[in-house]
A and B are shown apart, each in its own frame.
Chain A
Amino acid sequence: QQQVKQSPQSLIVQKGGISIINCAYENTAFDYFPWYQQFPGKGPALLIAIRPDVSEKKEGRFTISFNKSAKQFSLHIMDSQPGDSATYFCAARGGGFQKLVFGTGTRLLVSP
C-alpha cells in the first residue's frame, strides 16, 4: 500500500513533442504528490507538485494531471526540449514526518 507505481521506465520523445509519465498509488492517505527531476550525477530537485484537492497544476511547460478517484497522476511536458532529458520521479507523501515514497523513475531522452 505504500508503493507508487511509475511508467514507463524509459521514454524517447522528439524535440517539440509531448512527454507523458504516469504514476499510480493505492494509499488514500497520501496527501501531497511532487515530481522530482534528476540530471546525471546530480541529486533530485523538485520540479512541480500537486495537492489531491486539485485536478491539474501547470507551471510553464510542465503540467500535473491528478485523478483522485482512479488514484493516478501524470506529468506532461509540452514542447519537450533536449534540456529536459533527465530522470523523473513521482512521489507521494504519507506516513508522517513528511516522508516521501518514490516511484521507480522514468528516464526521458528528448532527441534533437
Chain B
Amino acid sequence: NAGVTQTPKFRILKIGQSMTLQCTQDMNHNYMYWYRQDPGMGLKLIYYSVGAGITDKGEVPNGYNVSRSTTEDFPLRLELAAPSQTSVYFCASMWSSGVYNEQFFGPGTRLTVL
C-alpha cells in the first residue's frame, strides 16, 4: 500500500491564481482531512470528509473548497490564491470504526504564494 499520497510536493503560485492540491489514499478509509501547517502554529483543520459526497468545514476553511466524489480522492481547491495561503498542506485519512483510531498523514505539499 502506498498509504496517503499528495501531489505536487512543491508549488509556487502568483497572487490570484488557482490550483488544486491532490490527495489519494489506498487504505479504503472513510474519513479524510485537510490541514495546513504554519511555523509555530501547529496543524489547523481546513476541511474534512466522512465519506464520498460528504464534506464539512474545519477551523480555517476560508479561501478553500473541497470535493469528495470517491472514497480514495479528496482534492483541495484554492481559488484566488493569497500570500496568507503560503503554508504546508497535509492530507490525512482514517478508518472510523473502533474508538481510538489513527490518522495517517501524507508527505505534504509546500505552497508559496508570491
Contact = CB atoms under 8 A, between A and B. Distances in A.
Contact of B42 (A45, A99, A103): A103
Q: Which 4 A-B pairs have the closest CB atoms?
A: A43-B105, A102-B42, A104-B42, A102-B43
The interface centre, meaning the residue of A6, A32, A51, A102 with most chain B CB atoms within 10 A of its CB, is A102
Contacts of B100: 32, 49, 51
Contact count band on B: 20 to 34
A43 B106 contact: yes
Given A41-B107, A46-B103, A100-B103, A105 B40 contact: yes
A96 B90 CA distance: 20
Contact of A97 (B40, B48, B102): B48
A53 B71 CA distance: 34
Contacts of B96: 97-98
Contact of B105 (A6, A45, A51): A45
A103 to B, nearest CB: 6
Interface in A14-46: 32, 34, 36, 41-46
Contacts of B74: none
Contact of B40 (A34, A41, A100, A104): A104
B84 interface: no
23 contacts: A2-B59, A6-B42, A9-B40, A32-B99, A32-B100, A34-B102, A43-B90, A44-B43, A51-B100, A97-B31, A97-B50, A97-B56, A98-B94, A98-B101, A99-B33, A99-B58, A100-B43, A100-B45, A100-B103, A102-B43, A102-B44, A103-B42, A104-B40
A89 interface: yes
Interface string A58-73: 0000000000000000
A32 B96 CA distance: 14
B108 interface: yes
A94 to B, nearest CB: 12
A105 B42 contact: yes
B21 interface: no
A89 B31 contact: no
